[in-house]
């Protein structure tokens, strides 16, 4: 090639000089020079992220902002137009740019441009403001203030499409609470927005976005919208999902998803649901922003709705999504997140989906996503793992326990983001259920230690999830694994987990204990370590009138302990009837009267184990139980509504008979 | 469009196995029975002139027929100036003009922006400015290639033009063809039209396509006078 390295490097440095030189021209007092410099910067950065960044670093934004604010230029509309356009371009899809524009303090100045008599200045100002309002960093707009609402309506009423579009963008950006939705609806915003639906492309897009914001999770607003001209606009938005512009299709779909998720009763028509699913699936193939947003829209549409998941599955959603993930080109994190969320939803309930997903050899894909630099992507991939691992068939085939899958999962337990930690704990909770073999990679990689570490996290979700994982890990575990776990956590540690301030954490801790003491006599011994500290703690929690779920797990701990030796049974009696008894009413009586059949059942199980006739002390314990009113209570329950409880009670009563009780 | 629907429906009742023969007289009678509003035809013509950018013709047509154009005719002049600049190889000029028209177009349309930059590179290569072309490719286009796999491949293809001393031997010589400029020009044209909420294609050609399609459908059921020459619209007897 007819070039040399020296010449190309000199060329590069000359462009660097050009960039530096432009700053003196931006500051020039000659308006012609200034204008040319502004145009130069604008034309350099439009469409070009790299240039935006490099000009930003050189401090171009404050320089342009001062050109815009310079009072000498207030009558020079060309300078106003060019500087506003340049600032708008910095803010277009570029968060650092938005930040810089806002930091330059130029926002009020841009707002003032809207009152200019020159239409071109108004256009430029409105466009730039709209760019800013597409970012989360845009200043909060308080609709509750009357003058703000007036200003908003003056924008929406404007003949200028950029200005009315800006009004809609402000709503889309700033309306967050139900109160704000209410205020906007009361002020007649819905009626205004549906008029803009008929306007230009950009108005229509801004309008669909703001409709979605105003309607989101607000059934009253939705019914108001649907009521406008007898549902005409709902049909219109539905029509727009077939528009020829992909962006319009997407935004109308997202609007419908919001309406559907808020008030599903407006979507009785199966055809509408199914076309919504297929349109979103088609939009996934759009390489741009629309495709990114379609992915999240799809996941939100099918979230926790089995019928829609089925529709999506039948529309070949899994294959579509996996194909996109396999294209190899770098996908936007937002899109990856949406795609993994969609897959996770698809795999959440339907076993067919899980099998078809896993048959596409996707594990490597998921493993790569676990290492993605964006925490939201890692979280979504973990959730996808969790739901796919609900497939018992695939789980027991050992698909998830291979080293190259397990290692990154265990590593994520150290992730700096707590949402990733919670998500990976969810995945591991499901996967550890398969650790039938005593030697497992998870344990070798230090998984148990890390789970115990996380059970002390500041984040209650992380504590809860790590205990759930441990609970599953101890399910039918052999003694060696239990020893390994117990040696790490010790009696003190366990007792403090059971006394956690969060009831949900307590429940998981006690459920974990239930699995730990299940099985052979050795397992039961754990609760007697350090003078029975753990058992005492469980007893104390049970006496504190806990929530039913926690009480169920606690009673099963006692049931398991009471299945042991004479000594174990007596220790349980100690917890049930401590000396001196504080309250007159025993907690067992309350449990037996609970509405929760599982709690009644767990309590009866404890009694069965306590008075099992093979043990020598059974008769004495039976006498105690009878004197405390437990046996009489059971006699009242012989026709319990729950079959399981009924059968267990009959077992107790027949034992009771053998002790001569009638 | 209702015109064509009538043609087909009328023949649906006839389920005879042999094709129905319709004489020219009968056919013309049927055609004359179809009422078309003059204003609709004018709108169709105006739509064509505006979309294709015939601003002077549109202006005259507006004065003569009283048909209102769908968009401000001044914007057509701007759009045509952009199109022309690309067609003449002044891509940088075209980019500046688009940015003056509406800075959002290239800021939100990475593919179009890349294609314009690519066309700029092609023009530099055409003019034999090798060093400048390389610098431009490196500074302006390479970062886009990093962002997008498809752009990278396009860029590699374009840079390949530099390797061949005689471009006519180059496997990607099509890029240097004038038709490539036209392709880029029409892409910009379409994007500007879209930004003005205007259809990017005129309605008339698709109506003509529909006419041909409808005749083909009808051929299976009937023998009738055809419109074969779309420029005159003359009916031709099947035997002719």
pLDDT tens, residue by residue, A360-370: 888 889 999 99
CB contact under 8 A, B99 and A85: yes
Strand partners, B236: B226
Nearest CA in chain B to A47: B107
The size of chain A, in residues, is 662
- In B95-227, the DSSP E strands lie at 222-223, 226-227
Residues A522 and A621 in one domain: yes
Q: What is the interface size between A and B, counted as CB pairs within 8 Å?
A: 77
Q: Which residues pair with B66 in a beta bridge?
A: none
For A589, the token pair is 């009586």
Closest Cα in chain A, distance from residue B216 (Å): 27
Query: In 3D, which of A508, A574, A489 has the Cα closest to residue A547?
Result: A508
Q: Are residues A391 and A503 in the same domain?
A: no
* Upper half-sphere CA count for residue A401 (Cβ side, 13 Å): 21
A328 near B CB under 8 A: yes
Sign of CA dihedral A281, A282, A287, A292: negative
Regions of chain A short of the pLDDT cut 50: 1-13, 438
Closest-CA distance, A11 to chain B, in angstroms, reads 7
Q: Are residues A73 and A108 in the same domain?
A: yes
Q: Are A424 and A453 part of one and the same domain?
A: yes
Domain count, chain A: 3
Q: Are residues A538 and A658 in the same domain?
A: yes
Say how many C-beta atoms besides its own lie within 10 A of residue A257's C-beta: 22
By C-alpha distance, which of A425, A464, A423, A430 is closest to A447? A425
State whether A47 and B131 contact (CB < 8 Å).
no
Quote the pLDDT of residue B122: 95
Cβ proximity of A512 and A467 under 8 Å = yes
Between CA A434 and CA A399 the distance in angstroms is 10
**Burial class (CB within 10 angstroms; exposed 0-12, middle 13-18, buried 19+) of B34:** exposed
Find out whether B119 and B132 touch, Cβ atoms under 8 Å.
no
**b/e per residue, B177-214, with b = 16+ CB within 10 A?**
eeebbeebbebbbbbbbbbbbbeeebeeeeeeeebeee
Predicted pLDDT of residue A157: 93
pLDDT computed for residue A517 by the predictor? 93
Closest partner CB to B106 (pick from A11, A46, A88): A46
**Angle CA B190–B191–B194, to nearest 5:** 85
Do A442 and A529 lie in one domain? The reply is no
Residue A3 to chain B, least CA–CA distance (Å): 6
Residues of A (181-200) whose Cβ lies below 8 Å from B = 199-200
A432 vs A397, A437, A438, A442, A517, CA distance in Å? 13, 11, 12, 8, 18
Residues A412 and A546 in one domain: no
Place of tokens 């229509």: A204
Burial of B79 (0-12, 13-18, 19+ CB in 10 A): buried
Q: Are strands B226-227 and B222-223 parallel, antiparallel or unpaired?
A: unpaired
Q: Give Cβ neighbours of residue A587 (< 8 Å, ≥ 6 apart).
A: A542, A543, A545
Q: How many CB atoms lie within 10 A of CB A25?
A: 17
Domain membership flag for residue A208 = no
For residue B221, name the pLDDT band (cuts at 50, 70, 90): confident
- CA B162 to chain centroid, in Å, comes to 31
Q: Name the burial class of residue A456, with classes exposed (0-12), middle (13-18) and buried (19+) by CB atoms within 10 angstroms of its CB.
A: middle
pLDDT score recorded for residue B5: 44
Q: Are residues A509 and A631 in the same domain?
A: yes
Q: Which residue of A has its CA nearest to B132?
A: A11
| CA distances in angstroms from A657 to A589, A603, A648, listed in the order given | 21, 19, 14
State the DSSP string of A370-405. HT-SSHHHHHHHHHHHHHHTT-HHHHHTTTT-SHHH
Q: Where are the domains of chain B?
A: 1-68+198-240, 71-195
**Domain end: A105, A139, A173, which one?**
A139
Residues of B with CB under 8 A from a CB of A: 95-96, 99, 102-104, 106-110, 113, 130-132, 134-135, 138-140, 143, 147-150, 162-163, 194-197
Share of chain B above pLDDT 70, in %: 92
Closest CA to A428 of A399, A385, A461: A385
Looking at A443, A473, A503, the residue that finishes a domain is A473
Distance CA A622, CA B53 (A): 100
Cβ contact, residue pair B197, A201, below 8 Å: yes
A232 inside domain: no
The dihedral over CA atoms of A532, A537, A540, A544, expressed in degrees to the nearest 10, equals -170
Does some domain include residue A98?
Answer: yes
* Mean pLDDT, range B100-125, rounded to an integer: 94
* Cβ(B133)–Cβ(B121) below 8 Å: yes
Instruction: Give CA–CA dist A505/A468, Å, rounded.
Output: 9
Chain B residues touching A199 at Cβ < 8 A = 197
Burial of B92: CB neighbours in 10 Å, binned 0-12, 13-18, 19+: middle
Whether residue B232 has pLDDT greater than 90: no
Which residue among B103, B196, B197 sits closest to A42, beta carbon to beta carbon? B103
Site of tokens 């930040």: A99
Q: What CATH number should be reported for the domain holding residue A36?
A: 1.25.10.10
Residues 6+ apart with CB under 8 A from A73: A31, A34, A67, A79, A80
Cβ within 8 Å, pair B107-A89: yes
Residue A75: the pLDDT is 81
For residue A223, tell me if it sits in a domain.
Answer: no
Residues A527 and A631 in one domain: yes
Q: Is the pLDDT of residue B223 over 50?
A: yes
Q: For residue B20, list its beta bridge partners.
A: B222
The CA distance from B51 to B43, in Å, is 12
Answer whether A201 touches B (CB < 8 Å).
yes
Longest dimension (CA), chain A: 112
Same domain flag for A455 and A528: no
Using CA atoms, how far apart are residues A215 and A331, in angstroms rounded to an integer? 30
Nearest 5°: CA angle at A474, between A472 and A480?
A: 150
Contact B143 A8 (CB under 8 A): no
Residue A275 lies in a domain: no
- Specify whether A465 is located in the same domain as A557: no
Task: Give the rounded distance of the alpha carbon of B156 from its chain centre.
Answer: 28
First to last CA, chain B: 28
Do A16 and A9 touch, CB atoms closer than 8 A?
no
Within 10 Å of residue A622's Cβ, how many Cβ atoms?
Answer: 23
pLDDT band at B239 (very low <50, low <70, confident <90, very high): low
Are A366 and A384 in contact by the 8 Å Cβ rule? The answer is yes
* CA-to-CA separations, A28 to A18, A52, A74, A204, in angstroms, rounded: 15, 22, 15, 41
A46 and B CB contact within 8 Å: yes
Burial of A47 (0-12, 13-18, 19+ CB in 10 A): buried
In chain A, the residue whose alpha carbon lies closest to the alpha carbon of B164 is A1
One domain for residues A503 and A629: yes
A92/B104 touch (CB, cutoff 8 Å), yes or no: yes
Q: Where are the beta strands (DSSP E) in chain B?
A: 20-21, 222-223, 226-227, 235-236
Read off the tokens for A592: 């037996």
Q: Sort out which chain A residues have CB atoms less than 8 A from B99's CB and list them.
A: 42-43, 46, 85
Contacts of A225 (CB under 8 A, 6+ apart): A190, A194, A211, A215, A233, A234, A259
Token code pair at residue B135: 């610098």
Position B80 pLDDT exceeds 90: yes
Question: Measured in whole angstroms, how far is the alpha carbon of residue A352 from the centre of its chain?
Answer: 24
State both tokens at A569. Answer: 């049974």
Separation between Cα atoms, residue A434 and residue A517, nearest integer Å: 19
In the block, which residue shows the tokens 């409808």?
Answer: B214
CB-CB contact of A191 with A232 (8 Å): no
Indicate the residue among A446, A473, A500 that finishes a domain: A473
A67-113 pLDDT, tens digit each = 998 877 678 899 999 999 999 999 998 999 999 999 999 999 999 99
Classify residue A520: in a domain, yes or no.
yes
> What's the per-residue H, E or C state across A430-449?
HHHHHCCCCCCHHHHCCHHH
Closest C-alpha to A311, from A321, A324, A301? A301
A 10 A CB-CB count for B225 gives 20
From chain A residues 550-579, the ones with a CB under 8 A of any chain B CB are none
ipTM, 2 dp: 0.79
**For residue A499, what are the domain limits?**
490-662
- pLDDT value at residue A330: 79
Q: How far is B100 from chain A (nearest CA, A)?
A: 8
Tokens 């974990």 sit at which residue?
Answer: A512
pLDDT tens digits for B17-36?
578 888 888 899 988 999 98
User: Distance between CA atoms of A570 and A433, rounded to whole angstroms?
Assistant: 33
Q: What is the C-alpha to C-alpha distance for residues A321 and A135, in angstroms, rounded to an integer?
A: 28
C-alpha to C-alpha distances, B177 to A367, B81, B159, B166, nearest whole angstrom: 46, 21, 15, 14
């Amino acid at each position: 090639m007819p070039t040399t390295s020296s010449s190309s490097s000199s060329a590069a440095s000359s462009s660097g000089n050009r960039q530096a030189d432009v700053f003196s021209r931006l500051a020039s007092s000659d308006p012609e020079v200034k204008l040319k410099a502004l145009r130069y910067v604008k034309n350099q950065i439009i469409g070009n992220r790299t240039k935006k960044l490099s000009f930003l670093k050189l401090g171009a934004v404050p320089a342009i902002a001062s050109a815009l604010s310079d009072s000498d230029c207030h009558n020079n509309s060309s300078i106003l137009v060019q500087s506003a356009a340049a600032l708008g371009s910095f803010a277009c899809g570029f968060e650092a740019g938005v930040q810089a524009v806002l930091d330059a303090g130029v926002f009020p100045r841009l707002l003032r441009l809207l009152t200019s008599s020159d239409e071109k200045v108004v256009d430029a100002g409105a466009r730039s403001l709209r760019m800013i309002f597409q970012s989360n960093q845009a200043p909060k707009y308080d609709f509750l203030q009357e003058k703000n609402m007036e200003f908003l309506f003056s924008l929406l009423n404007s003949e200028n499409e950029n200005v009315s579009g800006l009004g809609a963008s402000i709503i889309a950006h700033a309306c967050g609470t139900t109160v704000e939705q209410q205020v906007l609806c009361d002020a007649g915003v819905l009626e205004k927005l549906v008029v803009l639906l008929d306007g230009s492309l950009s108005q229509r897009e801004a309008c669909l976005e703001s409709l979605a914001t105003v309607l989101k999770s607000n059934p009253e607003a939705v019914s108001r919208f649907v009521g406008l001209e007898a549902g005409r606009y709902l049909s219109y938005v539905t029509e727009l999902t077939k528009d020829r512009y992909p962006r319009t299709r997407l935004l109308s779909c997202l609007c419908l998803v919001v309406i559907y998720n808020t008030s599903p009763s407006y979507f009785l028509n199966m055809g509408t649901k199914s076309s919504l699913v297929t349109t979103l699936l088609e939009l996934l193939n759009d390489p741009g922003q629309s495709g990114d947003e379609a992915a999240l829209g799809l996941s939100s549409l099918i979230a926790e709705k089995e019928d829609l998941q089925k529709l999506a599955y039948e529309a070949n959603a899994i294959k579509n999504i996996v194909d996109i993930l396999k294209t190899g080109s770098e996908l936007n994190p937002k899109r990856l997140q949406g795609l993994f969320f969609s897959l996770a939803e698809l795999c959440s309930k339907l076993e067919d989906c899980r099998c078809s997903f896993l048959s596409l050899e996707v594990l490597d894909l998921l493993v790569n996503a676990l290492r993605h630099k964006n925490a939201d992507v890692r979280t979504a991939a973990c959730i996808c793992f969790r739901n796919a691992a609900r497939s018992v068939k695939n789980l027991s085939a050992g698909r998830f326990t291979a080293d190259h899958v397990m290692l990154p999962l265990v590593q994520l337990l150290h992730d700096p983001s707590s949402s990733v930690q919670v998500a990976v704990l969810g995945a591991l909770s499901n996967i550890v259920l398969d650790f039938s073999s005593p030697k497992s990679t998870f344990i070798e990689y230090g998984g148990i230690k890390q789970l115990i570490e996380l059970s002390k996290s500041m984040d209650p979700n992380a504590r809860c999830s790590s205990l759930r994982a441990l609970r599953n890990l101890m399910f039918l575990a052999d003694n060696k694994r239990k020893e390994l776990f117990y040696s790490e956590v010790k009696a003190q540690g366990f007792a403090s987990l059971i006394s956690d301030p969060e009831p949900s954490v307590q429940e998981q801790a006690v459920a974990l204990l239930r699995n730990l003491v299940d099985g052979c006599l050795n397992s039961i011994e754990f609760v007697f370590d350090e003078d029975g500290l753990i058992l005492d703690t469980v007893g104390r929690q049970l006496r504190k009138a806990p929530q039913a779920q926690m009480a169920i797990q606690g009673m099963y701990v006692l049931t398991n302990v009471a299945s042991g030796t004479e000594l174990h049974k007596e220790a349980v009696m100690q917890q049930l009837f401590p000396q001196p008894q504080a309250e007159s009413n025993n907690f067992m009586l309350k449990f037996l009267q609970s509405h929760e059949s599982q709690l009644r059942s767990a309590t009866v199980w404890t009694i069965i184990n306590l008075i099992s006739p093979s043990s020598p002390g059974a008769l004495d314990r039976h006498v105690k139980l009878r004197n405390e009113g437990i046996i009489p209570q059971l006699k009242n329950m012989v026709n319990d509504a729950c079959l399981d409880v009924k059968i267990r009670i009959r077992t107790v009563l027949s034992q009771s008979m053998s002790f001569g009780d009638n | 469009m209702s015109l064509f629907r009538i043609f087909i429906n009328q023949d649906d009742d006839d389920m005879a196995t042999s094709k129905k023969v319709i004489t020219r007289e009968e056919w013309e009678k049927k055609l004359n029975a179809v009422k078309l509003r003059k204003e609709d035809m004018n709108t169709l013509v105006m739509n064509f002139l505006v979309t294709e950018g015939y601003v002077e013709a549109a202006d005259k047509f507006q004065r003569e027929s009283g048909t209102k154009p769908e968009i401000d005719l001044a914007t057509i002049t701007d759009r045509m100036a952009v199109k022309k600049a690309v067609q003449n190889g002044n891509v940088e000029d075209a980019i500046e003009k688009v940015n003056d028209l509406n800075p959002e177009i290239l800021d939100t349309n990475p593919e179009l922006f890349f294609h314009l930059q690519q066309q700029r590179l092609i023009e530099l290569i055409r003019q034999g400015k090798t060093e400048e072309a390389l610098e431009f490719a490196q500074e302006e286009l390479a970062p886009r290639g990093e962002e997008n796999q498809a752009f990278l491949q396009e860029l590699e293809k374009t840079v390949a033009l530099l390797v061949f001393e005689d471009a006519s031997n180059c496997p990607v010589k099509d890029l240097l063809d004038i038709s490539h400029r036209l392709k880029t020009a029409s892409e910009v044209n379409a994007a500007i039209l879209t930004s003005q909420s205007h259809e990017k294609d005129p309605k008339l050609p698709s109506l003509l396509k529909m006419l041909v399609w409808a005749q083909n459908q009808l051929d299976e059921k009937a023998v009738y006078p055809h419109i074969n020459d779309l420029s005159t619209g003359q009916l031709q007897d099947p035997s002719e």
